[in-house]
Amino acid sequence: MTTTMTPTQRSQSAAPSRRARLVPSIVSGLVLGLVGGLLVALIVAQFAHGSRGINQIVVAGYLGWAVFFFIGIGALNYPMRWAFGRTQPTHNEELELAGRGQGPWRYFRFCTDHKVVGIQYLITVFVLFIVGGAAAFLIRLEQSTPGAKFVTPGTYNTIVGVHGLLMIAATIIMITGPFGNFILPIAIGAKDMAFPRLNALSYWLLFAAVPVFLSVFALGGFPTGWTGYAPLADQANAGMDAYAFTIILFGLSVGVSAMNIVVTVITLRAPGMRWNRLPVYVWGWALSVLLGAIAFPSFMLAELLVLSDRVFGTAFFISALGGSQWLYEQLFWFMGHPEVYVIALPSMAVVAEVVSVFSRKPIFSYKAVVGGFVGVAAIAMIVWAHHLFWSGANTPLDGPFMLSTELISIPTGLIFLAIVGTFWRGRIWRSVPLLFALGFVFNFIIGGVTGLYLADVPTDGVFHGGMFVVAHFHFTLVGGMVFGFFAAVYYWFPKLFGRRLNDRLGRAHFWLFEIGFLGTFLPLFYAGEHGEARWQANIPVQFATPNLVSSLFACLLVAAVSIFAYNVISAWRSGPKADTDEWGAKSLEWTVPTPVPLENFERTPVVTGSSYDYGNGVGAQPGRSGSAYPREATAGGATLPSPEP
Amino acid sequence: MTQQGGSTGSDIPTRTASEPENHDLREVLLWWAGLSIIAIAVWVVVSSLLLPKAATADDVFANVTVVVFTALAIPVALFVWVFVGYSLVRHRARVTATAGRPPTEAAPAIVATSGQTIAWLAITGGLCLFLVVWGLFGIYRGAQVPTKHPMIVDATGQQWLWTFRYPHPAPNAQPVTSQELVLPVNHPVQFDVTSLDVLHGFEIRAFGITLDANPGSIIPTEVVTPRKIGDFTVRCVELCGLYHSYMWAPVKVVSESSYIAWLHAASHGSAQGGSST
């Protein structure tokens, strides 16, 4: 059957078509997914009964949505062809799948071009940030004054959970998604990712998770916050199913993407791109996704068990029936703490890179940075139970987990040593990306130091579950990681879109964001210090002042993000054209033309040196003659064949 | 560190520029030392205003820990900030970037010596070790049992209130249950914490104690001795559903005689209410 089909398919796809094809595309995916999901839900509704009936219907609907969405968007076409006909796609078909000649419509299709996937990730991250940010603003609005004034406590809990999960998901992927897909293959001299179709799959898994998650609002929300603690999760209404199913889809996406990036870095480095010549951000991103791939399955497992409790009536987490809430806590935090380093490593790596580029100096110690990343990633796996100091379980291990948690400050310190040393006696160009890197350095120190109180048992005993924790992790996640994300956006935007962001708007964004950020979260340290608990729809009168101050400063954050959004949109539409090597940087992605052509390089580049040797060839254009890489247009032919023996 | 064969090491002017580098280093270290001393002094004064008043030795220890850790953290944070700030002010690109064009000059390479890296590792490792030892001492402190036999109070969470039960208030007396926690001053007390439904978190900031309330398990807190007469609060610190933010209970530390009077009155009220088993 398939052998007769294949030639027809091949002849269809071999001809480049310029019109927007609706099948397969996002349109057919959405239509088939919605119809399929509804149908499956309706079928299951005929058999579902009892108090779990609604959960059975909802989860069946999500399963139907996921399966039919992927059929509709064409994710299974090539795997099926291969499975039944064992026919390899031709190079032309591969290019077709990578979106050749399809114009902007390729962004709405199952497109394997890593650059398309990167942009898809970036837009999605922006959307998640906007929705999660709106939820954050509602939280600050509600906490601006004592009493449940603006939203009901139930709505408030849902908003807290939506904010938490959206922001965590967004920050996990914010750098390794857009830049790990767009920039990383170019930076190592590859034509695409190792598994282009899995790359597209990882994005569309993420995409498929978003409507599932947003359906919590239709299903009455969920009360647990983003941690989803059982047994409250067992007790919650159908919104909890949406939460659990979202985690499963998102976890699959993270896992697929992670394996792809790791394999790409291992196998597709250009000739001469030795491990010690990789730009540091490649190290940081690859280690981050590797850590995520190890950590995330335990969260997926936890949510599978939650769904099992809720749909089939098992009792993994219900102590009265032989389950254990500690099981959930362990599974969750086994993911939950590595996860913050999954978020941290890419940002730290971006900052190390940006500081080197804009100090016009090699990284103070490449070994320290890479060693620091490896150390952080390794120790990150064994710190999780510091979240359980006061859970009533695990007491004999309090000491060891305190030790491991504080040990992680040593490799983190190495990374900071390298950053400080890179600044030292540089030729510092205070560009907008550098400003955000500076913001990272400033804020993350505060976030890191306040983490020590939470790692140490005596002080955690007064801060656990309080606003101090909230302030601490916002200093790391927002003050550190999101600043690193902004640095990455400002740094690579010219390569991604071929346009320049407005410099003055960028500076306004930075200063408003930094001041707004400090004003929003410093008062919460004070409130938490005095014992204000987290997750409060109704804040106690005692804490009214710090909360009001915090809420007022949050308005600056809204202003800053609005400026950023305006800057991005106006630059994308009509910004000045960017140069090929916009910043005079020396890594490989700055040698390819903008917009980057399909398959990136005409010939595989040959790497002959580190991308940080700014010290050599002083006086020359650092990005030009001093470049370690042959430029495609000029020197590409001259350096082939490889000078390597 | 990854210098290639193509470029010889001779054109790296790292060590030739040692005189201005030493000057810079002296200056930045002075700034760092001066600012650290000032900041620590300010912190020690201000911390007494910022930190809440403690009612037990455990909480005093928690507050002291905050003061000491912050004092240690100040020089570390300032090391990074001062070095970076100094570089920003003194080492700007000489050719200002105009119209978004990259400046053309590059800086001489400065690469970490292994001595610098090892010194840094030793310092951060030493600080880290201090924190761990301090924390272990804290765990040891918390596990100490006072000589006086502690009073045991059951603290039971349910959605969304706390119930306190005094199992044996006096020989032959009925257990007393209450929605407010009344405790005699200077008398050690231990809480047996549990929950009837989902996870709750039992926390009294001024006592320096917190513990999750787990359904199906009764787990004791550390023994604490309230040293101050006054009003405090039990807060739920684990998200427990709809009215989590309303789940708090008053704590009253009173004199021994007031406590006995309250207990007497409460045991009568409790018996009438039929809430005792």
In this complex, the residue of B62, B136, B239 whose CB is nearest that of residue A399 is B136
Q: What is the pLDDT of residue B147?
A: 77
- Cβ distance B245 to A406 less than 8 Å, yes or no, reads no
Report the residue from A319, A530, A531 with minimal CB separation from B216.
A319
Q: Does A504 touch chain B (CB under 8 A)?
A: no
Per-residue pLDDT averaged across B114-118, rounded? Answer: 91
Task: Check whether residue B241 and residue B128 sit in a common domain.
Answer: no
B179 and B139 within one domain: no
Residue B101 placed within a domain: no
A:B CB pairs within 8 Å: 335
User: Which of A361, A453, A618 has its CB closest to that of B69?
Assistant: A453
Average pLDDT over residues B116-121: 93
Give B107's pLDDT tier (boundaries 50, 70, 90). confident
Contact check, Cβ <8 Å, B100/A500: yes
Helix runs in A143-238, H state only: 153-173, 178-187, 196-214, 232-235
Q: Using the structure block, give the residue that is written with the tokens 């009964």.
A: A49
Does residue B192 belong to the interface with chain A, where contact is any CB pair within 8 Å?
no
Q: Is residue B71, in this structure, part of any structural domain at all? A: yes
Give chain B's domain count: 2
Q: What integer is the mean pLDDT of A415-425? A: 93
B99 located within any domain: no
Q: Kindly state the helix (H) or strand (E) to which residue A99 belongs, with its residue range.
A: none
**Mean pLDDT, chain A, whole residue set:** 89
Q: Given the DSSP bridges, would you call strands B189-195 and B151-158 parallel, antiparallel or unpaired?
A: parallel
The answer to whether A431 contacts B97, with C-beta atoms less than 8 Å apart, is: yes
**Do B42 and B138 reside in the same domain of the chain?**
yes
Predicted confidence (pLDDT) at residue B235 exceeds the cutoff of 60 = yes
Residue in A509, A504, A514 with CA at minimum distance from that of residue A478: A514
A242 vs A95 pLDDT, higher one: A242
Higher pLDDT, A300 or A97: A300
In angstroms, the CA A176 to CA A289 distance is 7
Kindly state whether residue B234 falls inside one of the protein's structural domains: yes
CATH number at residue B262: 2.60.40.420
* A582-625 pLDDT, tens digit each: 888 889 999 999 889 988 998 889 988 888 877 554 333 333 33
Q: What is the pLDDT of residue B2?
A: 39
What DSSP string runs through A235-250? HS-THHHHHHHHHHHH
C-alpha span between A220 and A238 (Å, rounded): 7
Is B242 close to A153, i.e. CB distance below 8 A? yes
- Say whether pLDDT at A460 is over 60: yes
Q: Percent of chain A beyond pLDDT 90?
A: 76
A507 touches chain B (CB under 8 A): no
A442, B81 Cβ separation under 8 angstroms: yes
Stretch 46-85 of chain B: residues touching chain A, C-beta under 8 Å: 50-52, 58-59, 61-62, 65-66, 69-70, 73, 76-77, 79-81, 83-84
Cβ pair B200, B212 in contact under 8 A: yes
The answer to whether B272 touches B176, Cβ cutoff 8 Å, is no
Q: What is the mean pLDDT of residues A478-487?
A: 96
Q: Is the pLDDT of residue B52 over 80?
A: yes
* % pLDDT > 70, chain A: 92
Nearest CA in chain B to A644: B5
pLDDT tens digits, one per residue of A309-360: 999 999 999 999 999 999 999 999 999 999 999 999 999 999 999 999 999 8
Could A424 and B52 be called an inter-chain contact, meaning their C-beta atoms sit closer than 8 Å? no
Q: Is residue B163 part of a domain?
A: yes
A452 closest CB neighbour out of B69, B100, B110: B69
- Tell me the nearest-neighbour CA distance from A154 into chain B, angstroms: 5
Nearest-by-Cβ selection for B106 from A157, A325, A360:
A360
Domain positions in chain A: 22-89, 115-574
- Cα dihedral A278, A282, A283, A287 in deg (nearest 10): -150
Cβ contact, residue pair A148, B245, below 8 Å: yes
Contacts of A227 in chain B (CB under 8 A): 239
Distances (CA, A) of A77 to A8, A97, A631: 14, 11, 38
Q: Among all residues of chain A, which has the CA nearest to that of B87?
A: A424
CA distance A173 to A188: 20
Inter-chain touch A466–B120, beta carbons under 8 Å: no
Same domain? B166 vs B137? no
Minimal CA separation from A240 to chain B, in Å = 12
Residue of A nearest to B62 (CA): A459
Q: Are residues B130 and B26 located together in one domain of the fold?
A: yes
Task: Please tell me if residue A635 touches chain B, with a CB cutoff of 8 Å.
Answer: no
Contact B112 A421 (CB under 8 A): yes
ipTM of this complex? 0.89
Which domain covers residue B45, as residue numbers? 15-92+109-143
Q: How confident is the model at residue A7 (pLDDT cuts 50, 70, 90)?
A: very low
Is residue A383 scored above 50 in pLDDT? yes
Spell out which residues of chain B touch residue A620, defining contact as CB-CB under 8 Å: 104
Is A618's CB within 8 Å of B4's CB? no
Tell me which CATH code domain A115-574 carries. Answer: 1.20.210.10
Give the strands of the sheet with B219-220, arranged side by side.
B176-178, B161-166, B151-158, B189-195, B219-220
- CA–CA distance, A519 with A539 (Å, rounded to integer): 19
Stretch 447-476 of chain A: residues touching chain B, C-beta under 8 Å? 449, 452-453, 455-459, 461-462, 464-466
For B53, B66, B70, B227, the CA distances from B50, given in Å and listed in that order, are: 9, 11, 13, 20
Determine the residue type at B79.
Answer: F
Report if residue B9 sits inside a domain.
no
Q: What is the pLDDT of residue A88?
A: 82
Nearest by CB to residue A364, choosing from B50, B66, B112, is B112
Cα angle for residues A263, A268, A271 (degrees, 5° grid): 145
Nearest CA in chain A to B58: A458
CB-CB under 8 Å, A536 with B52: no
Q: What percent of chain B has pLDDT over 70?
A: 86
Contacts of residue A560, defined as CB under 8 A and 6 or more positions apart, other chains included, come to: A508, A509, A510, A512, A513, A516
pLDDT, position A102? 84
Query: Residue A100: pLDDT band by 50, 70, 90 thresholds?
Result: confident
Taking an 8 Å cut-off on Cβ atoms, the answer to whether A626 and B238 are in contact is: no
Look at residue A614 in the predicted model and tell me its pLDDT: 75
Q: Which residues contact B220 (CB under 8 A, 6 or more apart)?
A: B152, B190, B191, B192, B193
Q: What is the DSSP string of A356-388?
A: HHHHTS--TTHHHHHHHHHHHHHHHTT-GGGGG
**Reported confidence tier of residue A636, pLDDT bands at 50, 70, 90:** very low
The answer to whether residues B131 and B207 belong to one domain is no
Cβ under 8 Å to A: B residues 14-33: 14, 17, 21, 24
B20 & B138 share domain = yes
Residues 164-223 of chain A whose Cβ lies under 8 A from any Cβ of chain B: 223
CB contact under 8 A, A390 and B13: no
| pLDDT band, residue A639 (cuts 50/70/90) | very low
Give residue B100's pLDDT: 57
How do residues A114-151 score in pLDDT, each as one tens digit? 999 999 999 999 999 999 999 999 999 999 999 888 99
Q: Do A404 and A333 touch, CB atoms closer than 8 A?
A: no
Between positions 301 and 360 of A, the ones with CB within 8 A of B are 319-320, 325-326, 359-360
- The more confident residue out of A21 and A428 is A428
Q: Is the pLDDT of residue A307 over 90?
A: yes
Residue B44 and residue B87 in one domain = yes
Residue of A nearest to B74 (CA): A449
Q: Considering only A469-473, A576-580, A610-614, B187-191, which range has the smallest mean pLDDT?
A: A610-614
Structural domain includes residue B237? yes
Evaluate whether residue B135 is within a structural domain.
yes
Q: List all residues of chain A from 516 to 535 with a beta carbon under 8 Å from chain B.
A: 526, 529-531, 533-535
pLDDT at A631 over 70: no
Q: Which residues of A touch B70 (CB under 8 A)?
A: 449
**What is the per-residue pLDDT for A21?**
79
Question: What are the backbone dihedrals phi and psi of residue A51, each rounded to the nearest 5 degrees, phi first?
Answer: -70, -20
Q: Which of A465, A503, A529 sits opposite B51 (nearest CB)?
A: A529
Give the closest residue to A465 by CA, choosing from A456, A454, A480.
A454
Best residue in A229, A424, A580 to probe B by mutation, most B CBs within 10 Å? Answer: A424
Residues B121 and B194 in one domain: no
How far off is chain B from A348, nearest CA to CA, in Å?
15
Burial of A590 (0-12, 13-18, 19+ CB in 10 A): buried
Between positions 361 and 400 of A, the ones with CB within 8 A of B are 361-362, 364-368, 390-392, 398-399
Q: What is the mean pLDDT of residues B62-91?
A: 93
Q: Please tell me the predicted confidence (pLDDT) of residue A97.
A: 86
Pick from A45, A76, A28, A60: nearest CA to A245: A60
| Under 8 Å between Cβ of A569 and A126 | no
**The sheet that has B248-254: what strands, in order across it?**
B181-184, B248-254, B230-236, B200-204, B209-213
Interchain proximity B203–A229, CB inside 8 Å: no
Question: Is A53 an interface residue toward B (CB < 8 Å)?
Answer: no
Q: Which residues of B touch A539 (CB under 8 A)?
A: 245
Question: Cis (ω within 30 of 0) for the bond into B160?
Answer: yes
Q: Which two tokens stand for residue A460?
A: 């955690």
Residues of A within 8 A of B4 (CB-CB) are 608-610, 613, 628
